DNA sequence: ACTCTGGCCTGTGGGC
DNA sequence: TGCCCACAGGCCAGAG
């Protein structure tokens, strides 16, 4: 179940394999994986064939490959009719979301099809590099589609990239910057957080407020910050908001350093190797096990699992007490 | 305008 | 052994 650090691992791995290569073949083995592409399968394939990948960019868990020089006519109704915008910037991008179980794998043509192979892209040959980029997805919560590149609303870069552009893939434009984005603004986040009338975890999971935080890292960040998931956002003090954001960032950086997290072997990075950060989790998946922070202080406490938002929430009842009257 | 629920998916595993 | 159901959860459409 890839979260932001895993997607960043994929981005970094992928860019050296695909940048500058041309898509010479597209095979869609399961059209359900192209479901968000409104103009249909033919348009999807036509937009990719002959296009050259310029970069691999990420914001939150959205990952996209800006494309140039496609011979396909009138992509997405763009009157320019081509891949290149007026300032020679990419006009469209191949967007990928890994969902719950998506993988992007570089493979040799001889490698047997994966059980849940959904899309196969053939790339122009390059010495010592696999010729296929494959999208594999068991649960089909993820998918691929082509989207237009649009200017960002703050003039900053669209996302993390080797060559940042003031453009963003249209389908990701509504997503807030993530905590690993150098252009992330804490002031903006805190201002919007205080206006919400909801619980802290729900806010952390809202990709429009801050992107890239999923259920696992939300639980970890809250545990590290010693805050309860139901804490009302409109009572959060600035220091508390800074703490939980900094903890989310720290969990992500730890996971990144470890090469990503893997829980059920569904997630592997672009080269096929699983991460191992799951051994370092303090809250998620540790129901009934001792809270390590309390244990270190000589206090006996066990991690509790509760249903919240149709998800599991893991907390320590001692060091993350449920808020009373909106505060501790 | 904001908040929140339901539904999309399939493989795994526990209960009977 | 085999059937059934709960569970995993990011994201969005649509209800409230």
**Domains of chain A by range and CATH?**
4-172 (3.20.190.10), 186-315 (1.10.8.50)
Residue/partner pairs of A202-205 with CB below 8 Å, 24 or more apart: A202/A229, A202/A309, A203/A233, A204/A244, A204/A248, A205/A309
User: pLDDT tens digits for A97-151?
Assistant: 988 888 898 999 999 998 889 999 999 999 999 999 999 988 888 899 999 899 9
> Would you state the structure tokens that stand for residue A142, as one six-digit string?
């993820």
3-state secondary structure A95-111: EEECCCCEEEEEECCCC
Residue A36 falls in the annotated catalytic set:
no
Give bridge partners of residue A97 from the DSSP assignment: A62, A143
What is the biggest distance separating any 2 CA atoms in chain A, rounded to whole angstroms? 68
- Contacts of residue A193, defined as CB under 8 A and 6 or more positions apart, other chains included, come to A203, A209, A233, A236, A241
Q: Look up tokens 């998506």; give the residue.
A: A102
The β-bridge relationship of strands A304-308 and A311-315 is antiparallel
From A19, A242, A311, A317, active-site residue: A311
Coil, helix or strand at residue A11: helix
Residue A197 falls in the annotated catalytic set:
no
Does residue A174 lie within 7 Å of nucleic acid chain B, judged by its CB?
A: no
Q: Given this model, what pLDDT does residue A254 score?
A: 86
Nearest Cα neighbor of A67 from A110, A27, A108, A121 is A121
User: pLDDT tens digits for A303-317?
Assistant: 998 888 878 899 999
Residue A3 falls in the annotated catalytic set:
yes
Does residue A132 lie within 7 Å of nucleic acid chain B, judged by its CB?
A: no
Reported as a pLDDT band with limits 50, 70 and 90, residue A264 is very low
Residue A237 falls in the annotated catalytic set:
no
Distance of alpha carbon A4 from alpha carbon A179, whole angstroms: 10
How far: A298 CA to B9 C1' (Å)? 44
Predicted model pTM: 0.89
Q: Which residue is nearest to nucleotide B12 (CA to C1')?
A: A264
For residue A252, is pLDDT > 80?
A: yes
Phi and psi at residue A137, to the nearest 5°: -155, 115
What is the H or E stretch that residue A10 is in?
Answer: helix A4-18
Q: Which residue is nearest to nucleotide B7 (CA to C1')?
A: A141
Helices A186-195, A238-257: inter-axial angle, 10-degree rounding: 120
């Amino acid at each position: 179940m890839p979260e932001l650090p895993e997607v960043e691992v994929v981005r970094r791995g992928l860019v050296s394999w695909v940048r500058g290569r041309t898509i010479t073949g597209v095979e869609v083995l399961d059209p359900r994986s192209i479901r968000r592409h409104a103009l249909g399968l033919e348009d999807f394939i036509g937009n990719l064939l002959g296009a050259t990948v310029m970069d691999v960019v990420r914001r939150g868990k959205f990952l996209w490959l800006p494309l140039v020089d496609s011979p396909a006519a009138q992509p997405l109704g763009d009157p320019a009719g081509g891949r290149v915008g007026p300032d020679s910037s990419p006009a469209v991008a191949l967007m990928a979301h890994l969902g719950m179980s998506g993988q992007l794998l570089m493979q040799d043509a001889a490698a047997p099809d994966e059980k849940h192979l959904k899309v196969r892209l053939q790339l122009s040959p390059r010495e010592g590099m696999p010729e296929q980029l494959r999208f594999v997805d068991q649960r089909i919560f993820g998918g691929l589609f082509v989207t237009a590149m649009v200017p960002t609303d703050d003039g900053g870069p669209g996302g993390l990239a080797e060559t940042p552009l003031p453009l963003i893939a249209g389908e990701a434009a509504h997503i807030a910057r993530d905590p690993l984005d150098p252009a992330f603004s804490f002031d903006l986040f805190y201002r919007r957080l205080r206006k919400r009338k909801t619980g802290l975890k729900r806010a952390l999971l809202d990709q429009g407020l801050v992107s890239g935080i999923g259920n696992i890292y939300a639980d970890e960040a809250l545990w590290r910050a010693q805050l309860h998931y139901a804490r009302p956002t409109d009572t959060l003090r600035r220091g508390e908001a800074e703490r939980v954001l900094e903890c989310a960032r720290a969990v992500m950086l730890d996971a990144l350093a470890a090469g990503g997290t893997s829980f059920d072997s569904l997630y592997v990075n672009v080269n096929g190797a699983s991460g191992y950060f799951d051994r370092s989790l303090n809250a998620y998946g540790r129901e009934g096990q001792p809270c390590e922070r309390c244990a270190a202080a000589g206090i006996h406490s066990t991690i509790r699992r509760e249903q919240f938002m149709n998800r599991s929430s893991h907390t320590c009842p001692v060091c993350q007490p449920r808020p009373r009257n909106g505060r501790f």
